[in-house]
């Protein structure tokens, strides 16, 4: 199962994504549906998500409730990249979309631009202004204040680790002691070098891509300046690239994240640590249901970082926009976001849901009874607001950057791969 977008987008996928804004602006004339109708109890509202948002049981409860004003049918697309292509083409065509659509967080800036945002209903509701953590709420809002997305979840990151493999290396295994090793990136990589010297058959982390993403999440302006000028010739981005390329041969599995090789490494002791937003928990459990030894450290190198977090939006194509807003509102209220976390590990962006989970603090037996909700709540507090800045080309350039990292994993010289990356960025519209 893949909860979030595949960080290893191929160049073709990035090229398709690069045309999103232009295509939507061209197609914006025919997007709105003036024929609004009201659904009855036996009529069906439609929603499309990608990966696993944890909605299956929630929608079943809605449909079983005799007080529900309409029925709901969810369509699940396996991966964001696949869904993004359909979403983009149907927005351009002005037809074909469901009443509610899910949008991946890194791609949201492209849909907030003038022209593109006109394809979505305005979800602004002053009564909801304090429902979500500010750094996610604002991410679904245009520059002039139009709310086109309700946040479903956030992605505060901790570090998941194999305590059994740590013991094999003579490392501490208690999560409080392990957390002390992960205060800085230098400390994290230093521990990794010591680990692979002790356990040479196991790499330190799951993929170069996940580490690159985790470090990028702490760079204030990784790809664009605040006025959306593209600038990949900045020290923060160069430092991430140089660091990941340096440790690729020794600490990384060099597997492409979400690939069969990556999944196999969960069950063959292929790696010992990985960056862990809440939605990653379900991926670990599904990839390695019988593996014992996983635990979670309440720490993240460099302080905090947020990876992921999606939105629900209502296309203006929908003929049931008011009821679509009603259902998107319901799914992102506290009780439902708690349910999504329990079902799929999607850590709530809803403030009341976060507070409730911290109070109950249910231990997770798979992760050695770790208090996962409390750990993620602590990690959420460490996330800097507005970092990284995500301009309108963030998702496109991220795909190209991660492909550059993949080329290094495959043996290309870092300097040559960097040159290819900068050339590709220069070719973006």
pLDDT in tens, 316-328: 999 999 999 999 9
Give the least confident one: 72-76, 277-281, 292-296. 277-281
- Give the helix ranges, DSSP H, for 252-320: 260-264, 280-287
pLDDT at 22 over 80: no
d(CA 112, CA 282): 30
pLDDT at 238 over 70: yes
Angle between helices 351-360 and 372-381 (to 10 degrees): 140
How does pLDDT run across 37-86, given as a tens digit for each residue? Answer: 999 999 999 999 998 899 999 999 999 999 999 999 999 998 888 999 99
Where does the pLDDT of residue 33 fall: very low under 50, low under 70, confident under 90, or very high at 90 and above? low
How does pLDDT run across 117-142, given as a tens digit for each residue? Answer: 999 999 999 999 999 998 799 899 99
pLDDT at 148 over 50: yes
Q: Is 190 left (phi over 0), alpha (psi -120 to 50) or beta?
A: alpha
Assigned token pair, 321: 């926009």
More confident residue, 354 or 429: 354
- At residue 9, the pLDDT reads 31
Calculate ∠ Cα 94-115-100, nearest 5°: 50
pTM of the model: 0.86
The residues with which 120 forms a beta bridge, in sequence order, are 315
More confident residue, 260 or 134: 260
Calculate ∠ Cα 160-166-169, nearest 5°: 150
pLDDT at 336 over 60: yes
- At residue 358, the pLDDT reads 86
What average pLDDT does the structure give for the chain?
A: 91
Where does the pLDDT of residue 30 fall: very low under 50, low under 70, confident under 90, or very high at 90 and above? very low
Angle between helices 185-198 and 235-251 (to 10 degrees): 10
d(CA 18, CA 186): 35
- The H or E element that residue 158 is part of is strand 157-162
As a whole number, mean pLDDT of residues 98-123 equals 95
d(CA 141, CA 136): 9
Q: Which domains does the chain have, with CATH numbers?
A: 11-154+308-360 (3.40.190.10), 157-303+387-409 (3.40.190.10)
Give the least confident one: 80-89, 176-185, 241-250, 377-386. 377-386
- At residue 208, the pLDDT reads 98
First to last CA, the chain: 33
d(CA 321, CA 315): 8
- At residue 32, the pLDDT reads 61
Assigned token pair, 326: 């009603």
In 183-298, at which residue ranges do the beta strands (DSSP E only) sit?
203-205, 271-277, 294-297
- At residue 3, the pLDDT reads 46
The three-class DSSP label of residue 318 is coil
Give the least confident one: 3-12, 153-162, 254-263. 3-12
Where does the pLDDT of residue 6 fall: very low under 50, low under 70, confident under 90, or very high at 90 and above? very low
């Amino acid at each position: 199962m893949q909860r979030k977008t595949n960080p290893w987008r191929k160049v073709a996928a990035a090229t398709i994504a690069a045309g999103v804004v232009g295509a939507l602006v061209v197609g914006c004339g025919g997007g709105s549906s003036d024929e609004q109708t009201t659904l009855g109890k036996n009529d069906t509202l439609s929603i499309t998500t990608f990966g696993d948002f944890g909605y299956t049981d929630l929608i079943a409860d809605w449909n079983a409730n005799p007080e529900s004003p309409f029925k709901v049918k969810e369509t699940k697309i396996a991966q964001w990249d696949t869904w993004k292509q359909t979403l983009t083409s149907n927005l351009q065509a002005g037809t074909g979309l469901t009443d509610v659509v899910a949008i991946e967080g890194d791609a949201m800036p492209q849909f907030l631009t003038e022209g593109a945002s006109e394809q979505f209903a305005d979800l602004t509701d002053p009564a909801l202004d304090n429902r979500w953590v500010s750094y996610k709420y604002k991410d679904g809002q245009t520059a002039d204040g139009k709310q086109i997305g309700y946040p479903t979840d956030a992605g505060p990151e901790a570090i998941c680790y194999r305590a059994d493999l740590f013991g094999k290396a003579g490392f501490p295994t208690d999560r409080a002691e392990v957390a002390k090793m992960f205060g800085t990136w230098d400390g994290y990589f230093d521990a990794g070098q010591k680990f692979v010297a002790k356990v040479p058959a196991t790499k330190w982390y799951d993929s170069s891509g996940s580490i690159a993403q985790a470090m990028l999440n702490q760079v204030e302006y990784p790809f664009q300046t605040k006025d959306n000028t593209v600038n990949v010739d900045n020290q923060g981005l160069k430092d991430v690239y140089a660091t990941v390329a340096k440790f690729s041969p020794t600490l990384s599995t060099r597997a492409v994240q979400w690939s069969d090789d990556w999944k196999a490494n969960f069950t063959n002791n292929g790696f010992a640590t990985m960056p862990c937003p809440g939605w990653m928990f379900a991926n670990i459990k599904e990839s390695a249901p019988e593996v014992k030894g996983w635990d979670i450290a309440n720490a993240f190198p460099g302080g905090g970082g947020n990876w992921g977090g999606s939105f629900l939006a209502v296309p203006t194509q929908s003929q049931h926009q008011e009821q679509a807003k009603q259902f998107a509102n319901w799914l992102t209220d506290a009780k439902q976001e708690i349910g999504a976390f329990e079902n799929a590990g999607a850590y709530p962006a809803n403030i009341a849901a976060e507070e409730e989970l911290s109070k109950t603090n249910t231990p997770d037996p798979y992760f050695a009874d770790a208090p996962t909700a409390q750990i993620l709540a602590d990690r959420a507090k460490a996330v800097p607001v507005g970092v990284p800045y995500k301009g309108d080309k963030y998702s496109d350039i991220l795909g190209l950057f991660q492909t550059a990292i993949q080329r290094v994993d495959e043996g290309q010289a870092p300097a040559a791969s960097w040159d290819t990356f900068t050339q590709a960025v220069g070719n973006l519209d």
